[in-house]
Amino acid sequence: MQRNGLLLPLMALALAALLAGVLAWDFRRAWEEKQAKLAAIAPATLDGKIAEGEYLSSYHDEATGMDIYWTIIGEEIYLALRCPSKGWASIGIGGGPMMKDSDIIIVYIDDEGVHFRDSFGTNMVKHAPDVELGGRDDVLDLAGSEGEEGMMIELRRKLETGDPYDQPILPGKLRIILAHAAADDFVSYHTSRSVVMLDLFEEGR
Ligand code: HEM
């Protein structure tokens, strides 16, 4: 009677220990797999040319004809744009409606080189450089090139810059705005623009 009374709790304990062991093993295996995957991700080479397979994820936007490419490594994002026009090209993160509160990076390339502004949507139809608003330029590296088929831009920035005139890049659907124009400046009205919702933490092409 006494022995039977102990048997059940002992069996339950043994089962719990077995279960904990299996879970720990499973957790460790998943962690090791994730570490191996992270170690295998190569950062993009920011040379202004988007090579096949250089980025983990990409999205083609029908409305503007623009492509976005990106890879997140640690606390940084490598972001690239392919744009059919040869004037300015731009991507905005977060904010809305329209351009308000969007964290806008706008780039054009001319004979003097690549020009860019880390900007912010000050109202629905206007933007201004972060530095003029009291913020910072938070693009860490940037390169671009222009050819017959349009332009390519590659850049690197922190996911969360801490600048109030930037938007944090967090997991979950993020409002992304895209636009381009034919003029090499920061002020001409776009010839094409679009709004899409993307989760930049989701990998895929
Ligand atoms: C350079 C000077 C710019 C001017 C003068 C300008 C002006 C305007 C105006 C007047 C509108 C409302 C009319 C419309 O829908 O077309 C608009 C909307 C819009 N702009 Fe701009 N814009 C500029 C730059 C940019 C930039 C850099 C972006 C970055 C991606 C952008 C993205 C958009 C988008 C996505 C909309 C439509 C938003 C929606 O439908 O919700 N714009 N802009």
What amino acid occupies position 192? Answer: S
* pLDDT level of residue 2 (50, 70, 90 thresholds): low
With a cut of 80, say whether residue 38 has pLDDT above it: no
With a cut of 80, say whether residue 130 has pLDDT above it: yes
- Whether a cis peptide bond, with omega within 30° of 0, leads into 9 is no
Q: How far is residue 109's CA from residue 124's CA, in Å, rounded to a whole number?
A: 26
**CA 98 to ligand 1 center in whole angstroms:** 7
Kindly list the protein residues whose Cβ atom lies closer than 6 A to any atom of ligand 1: 90-92, 97-99, 104, 106, 125, 127, 177-179, 186-190, 193-195
Q: What percent of the chain has pLDDT over 70?
A: 96
Q: How far is residue 205's CA from residue 191's CA, in Å, rounded to a whole number?
A: 26
Burial-class residue 196 by CB neighbours within 10 Å (0-12, 13-18, 19+): middle
pLDDT digits over 138-158, tens only?
999 999 999 999 999 999 999
With a cut of 70, say whether residue 70 has pLDDT above it: yes
**Integer-rounded Cα radius of gyration of the chain:** 24
Q: How far is residue 120's CA from residue 102's CA, in Å, rounded to a whole number?
A: 6
pLDDT digits over 172-189, tens only?
999 999 999 999 999 999
With a cut of 90, say whether residue 117 has pLDDT above it: yes
Ligand 1 site-directed mutation target among 93, 99, 100, 118, most atoms within 8 Å of CB: 99
- Closest protein CA for atom 21 of ligand 1: 125
Parallel, antiparallel or unpaired: strands 76-83 and 88-93: unpaired
Ligand 1 atom nearest to CA at 106: 27
- Closest protein CA for atom 36 of ligand 1: 98
Predicted pLDDT at 33: 78
Mean pLDDT, rounded, of the chain: 94
With a cut of 90, say whether residue 88 has pLDDT above it: yes
Predicted pLDDT at 36: 72
Owner of token pair 């308000």: 100
Q: Take residue 167 and report the two structure tokens written for it.
A: 């938007």
pTM exceeds 0.75, yes or no: yes
